[in-house]
Structure 1
């Protein structure tokens, strides 16, 4: 498949900027893109003209307001596509199903679905937040990131198995299972797009069956956002 080189470079530049919360210099950006600095300046100027990037006082490049607008327009589409899958997951596992997103050092619940025919449920509300390194949802997100020597064992295991399983980390007696939602190839870990899907229930959850259902749902969501 042929691609347009200039557009490809611009999109790669935008992804690199998104992965640099404190901003990135033009020199570093040109080195990452493997292009001459003059070409990099033109790429940045084009993105800046569309408000996709902005310059800080010291000249570093950060995401611009238009990037946030694009992200906000993606959310209703994502929610509408994913909600039926989340309800199906909740009913299949007889557990509370959820989608969580990384927000700085925390993991925030952004969608929830309850099973229809279960009396005992774990209260998990939209907006609930906890550290990324505690709870199945956050660990599943960390497992999507590039491997480092500092990764805890839970993250390494989740990366190897395709899902994370935790017991009692966020609520006594609760069992959580989650799988990361990988972004399309070349998207990178853009801010606000690192997500996981999972279920949580009181002890008694069939973890093998739930893990299989959670991973299948993660792949279904990945398919939705890549077409």
Structure 2
């Protein structure tokens, strides 16, 4: 059976990129695929247009949140099992619960659950995005990475505490608490994720911190299953 060469190269590119959680350069990717760099640029641009990969500030390529969206559709069991866990988090903290994924220099919301007993909640929807260095979700993702020179104190504090806490950064009066998801040893985290909650004032941040870290372990078990 014949295959489409360009499609085959694009799929192989995704496979190579997925094995490089820290990102991979165009030159190295072209070398892995054994193709000219110009062709590699076109493949990456096409994948980028479909939100499957993104470019980091230094030009390296990594998987983007579009892959997580496809994975959630392909793995209905994870989505099915994760939703009630997220909903329990929302009800326990009386706040909007969400899972975010890193896409380039932004955090993108990929799952949301609202509490049953709260009328006024922070409006979060799947696809909402904000810079990684602003807001609890993005800071948690940054804190989940190895220490880097020039990091903000918020990232360093989140790494020390195991969770990030922000107030009024994305919406006036909003309080957010998030922690990074980590896969079990031996599994490479192709997509960086965080789980958190956000509420308008009145959030019990100590309870929320304990709840999100417990929820993170439950979601990690699903991802590593």
Q: Shorter-chain TM-score: which interval?
A: 0.7 to 0.9
Aligned equivalent of 1:164: 164
Query: How far 1:20 sits from its partner (Å)?
Result: 2.7
Equivalent pairs counted in the alignment come to 191
| Structure 2 SS opposite 1:220 | helix
Aligned equivalent of 2:22: 19
Give yes or no for the alignment of 1:202 onto 2:182.
Answer: no
Superposition RMSD in Å? 3.1
| Contact residue 15 and residue 187 of structure 1 kept, 8 A | no
| Contact residue 100 and residue 195 of structure 1 kept, 8 A | yes
| Structure 1 SS opposite 2:120 | coil
Change (3 A) 1:124 1:187: same
Query: How far 1:55 sits from its partner (Å)?
Result: 3.8
**Gapped regions of structure 1 (runs ≥ 5):** 1-11, 30-40, 45-52
Aligned equivalent of 2:130: 130
Query: How far 1:54 sits from its partner (Å)?
Result: 7.2
Aligned equivalent of 1:74: 71
Give yes or no for the alignment of 1:100 onto 2:97.
Answer: no
Query: How far 1:150 sits from its partner (Å)?
Result: 1.5
- Tell me the distance in 1 between the aligned counterparts of 2:126 and 2:176: 16
- Please report the TM-score for the alignment, with normalisation by the length of structure 1: 0.73
- Tell me the distance in 2 between the aligned counterparts of 1:107 and 1:116: 26
| Structure 1 SS opposite 2:151 | coil
- Tell me the distance in 2 between the aligned counterparts of 1:54 and 1:131: 34
Q: Give 1:1-227 correspondences, 5 Å limit.
A: 16-17=19-20, 19-25=22-28, 44=32, 55-57=35-37, 74-76=71-73, 77=75, 78-190=78-190, 193-227=191-225
Change (3 A) 1:14 1:203: closer
Aligned equivalent of 2:7: none
- Tell me the distance in 2 between the aligned counterparts of 1:113 and 1:124: 9
- Tell me the distance in 2 between the aligned counterparts of 1:131 and 1:178: 15
Which structure has the larger Rg?
1
**1:126-176 per-position Cα deviation (integer Å, ceiling 9, x unaligned):** 111110000000000001111112211111111111100000000000000
- Tell me the distance in 2 between the aligned counterparts of 1:161 and 1:111: 24
